[in-house]
Structure 1
Amino acid sequence: MNLTRSIGETQGPHFYAEMGELISNSGHERFAADMLHLVDKWVPIHLVDLSEWTLDELRDSVLDIKLLGSAGLKKELSVPQTLHPLNDHPLMREMLRMQDPLLIQMKAKANSAHPLGSSHQCNLVSRQGNRRCVISFYRPPTQRGFSLAELSFLKCLSDTLLPLMERHAQLLRQVPHTEAEPAHTLLEQSQLQREFYKRLALSDITLSAREQEVCLGLLTGGTVPQIAEKLSVKNSSIETYLKRAAAKLGVSGRHGLAKWMVGS
């Protein structure tokens, strides 16, 4: 398809109709599929992933990566079995000090140890405080990488797509936890989270989803008011969840939780 002609067509009624549908589906499961359908008409892509990163900018580290939607042909893209720590992720260096929206191109690498790193990627990134909203477009390594014209087109389109992505992420955060869980599946778990769940499994202890969130929030340095705000509950509720979790773990308070985590 002629990209120059396609860019002109984005001013037509069909483009605005599809953009309106994308806007109306913000916060819903169809959002990623609608974005794929919209973009693929002008820049061929096989997969789109929408994710929200939470960074600890003081320690130059990743606290969490959540998948907020995905659509496309995953089977055509290879995914390596070995995962490196989140802080070694190739996007990390670019996103830490960013102020303005970014377009980050990553060419396919045959021996990449990161998720979908062996595919061609174009990542659109925006910043809101310590959060980064990321739209990732992928092509299989058997096809050519993104051309300069395609990258330029996606950069222009990002002025519209990134604010919609931020709205999508905000709407998902406002949904009650039980409904938001499928859309907030972790793209990759941090090392601390993996160790936490491993310790639970070895101890044969079952915590509720809320109790797990509170424990992980405290273990990663969060305060009771911060966790309460994130979960949209009262401070007293956080204290209650902590007491319930501590009773099941056989510990006392936050310090006891930390000692349990390290096995002492």
Structure 2
Amino acid sequence: MNRTSSILNLESARFYHELGELVLNVGQQHFAEGLYRLVTQLVPVNAVELSEWTVDDRQGRVVDIRLMGGAGEPEDIPPPSNVRHPSEHPLSKDILEMDHPLLIQVNARPAVAGRPRSHAEYHQCCLVSLKSNRRSLISLYRPLHQKTFSLTELSFLKSLSETLLPLIERHAQITRQSLQKLGTWLPNPAAENELTSLQRDFKERLALCDITLSVREQEVCLGLLNGGTVPEMAEKLCVKNSSIETYLKRAAAKLGVSGRHGLAKWMVGTPVPMQA
């Protein structure tokens, strides 16, 4: 029996139960975990990441990448892509040129000694939907030491994407609407210029101190500076509270600060010793 047959002969009741649970979780925090469980029943993957891209068709560039959650084995979840601008993302060319739903395969590259772990060290299969100026992505990962996605697996995932992509489009729409209702974690949700200014100042301060934070670490630091709480940031970023706490701890260790007050002092250039 070939791989396709074995996949399609999976116990249907189990598959449709998971699919039903996934439909019920559209727009919810656990959607990524449900999608991960469903996919791993069919094709072995170690991690799943969901994202929504916004493109400017007139200028031919990616203007925003919004992460909508992820799931998988903690040690196998790739770190967030640390690019300075969305258009610098390795997938941006494919995303901008697509005119129909797409499957993108990227084979892993060996790690470079002395450099942080990155997405490039994982085999990737990305299922991409197209709707107006938005692209919804389901990114599936395997670490370098495992086999690349086979042609049979890619063919099956392409077929499965006809079911999954409408769900992630709906998930993206619901979470986007929820964020609009919540505003942001800013005291004044309409003050978008203040957030832009803060982002710029924060990046300049990082560059001055020669410190590199991941995208997630930067997001939680900005959220903290804007008065956001851990639950609010978890809701906005579609992750668990514990994940926000982990990002904050990592950022604090790199910056040498402790808490909101210490972070604020660091922003204005005041030396802040770590609390014992």
Q: Quote the offset at 1:16 in angstroms.
A: 1.2
- TM-score, length-scaled by structure 1: 0.65
**Could you say what secondary structure the match of 1:33 adopts?**
helix
Q: Which runs of 5+ in 2 are unaligned?
A: 186-195, 209-224, 229-276
1:96 equivalent in structure 2: 96
1:249 equivalent in structure 2: none
4+ runs of 1 displaced by more than 3 Å?
77-85, 111-115, 176-182, 191-194, 196-202, 206-209
Q: Which runs of 5+ in 1 are unaligned?
A: 183-190, 210-264
Could you tell me how far apart the structure 1 residues matched to 2:103 and 2:71 are?
Answer: 20
Q: Quote the offset at 1:180 in angstroms.
A: 8.4
1:75 equivalent in structure 2: 75
Q: Quote the offset at 1:5 in angstroms.
A: 3.5
**Could you say what secondary structure the match of 2:55 adopts?**
strand
1:162 paired with 2:177, answer: no
1:130 paired with 2:113, answer: no
- AA aligned to 1:31 is F
Change (3 A) 1:130 1:10: farther
Q: How many residues were matched structurally?
A: 198
Could you tell me how far apart the structure 2 residues matched to 1:102 and 1:193 are?
Answer: 36
Q: Quote the offset at 1:98 in angstroms.
A: 1.3
Say whether the 8 Å CA contact 2:81–2:119 is kept in structure 1.
no
- Deviation per residue, 1:49-94 (Å, 9 max, x gap): 0000111222222211111110012423564996464322221111
- AA aligned to 1:117 is A
- Deviation per residue, 1:104-131 (Å, 9 max, x gap): 0000012589941210000000111111
1:87 equivalent in structure 2: 87
1:141 equivalent in structure 2: 144
1:45 equivalent in structure 2: 45
Say whether the 8 Å CA contact 1:54–1:62 is kept in structure 2.
yes
**Could you say what secondary structure the match of 1:21 adopts?**
helix
Could you tell me how far apart the structure 1 residues matched to 2:126 and 2:22 are?
Answer: 19
Q: How does 1:113-262 map onto structure 2 within 5 Å?
A: 115-177=118-180, 194-195=199-200, 197-198=202-203
Change (3 A) 1:194 1:57: farther
Say whether the 8 Å CA contact 1:10–1:16 is kept in structure 2.
no
Q: Over aligned residues, Cα RMSD in angstroms?
A: 3.3
**Could you say what secondary structure the match of 1:49 adopts?**
strand
Q: How does 1:20-31 map onto structure 2 within 5 Å?
A: 20-31=20-31
Change (3 A) 1:50 1:75: same
Could you tell me how far apart the structure 2 residues matched to 1:132 and 1:83 are?
Answer: 18
**Could you say what secondary structure the match of 1:104 adopts?**
strand
Could you tell me how far apart the structure 2 residues matched to 1:192 and 1:9 are?
Answer: 55
1:18 paired with 2:18, answer: yes
Could you tell me how far apart the structure 2 residues matched to 1:134 and 1:172 are?
Answer: 14
- TM-score, length-scaled by structure 2: 0.62
- AA aligned to 2:21 is E
- Deviation per residue, 1:196-229 (Å, 9 max, x gap): 5446999xxx7678xxxxxxxxxxxxxxxxxxxx
Could you tell me how far apart the structure 1 residues matched to 2:141 and 2:26 are?
Answer: 21
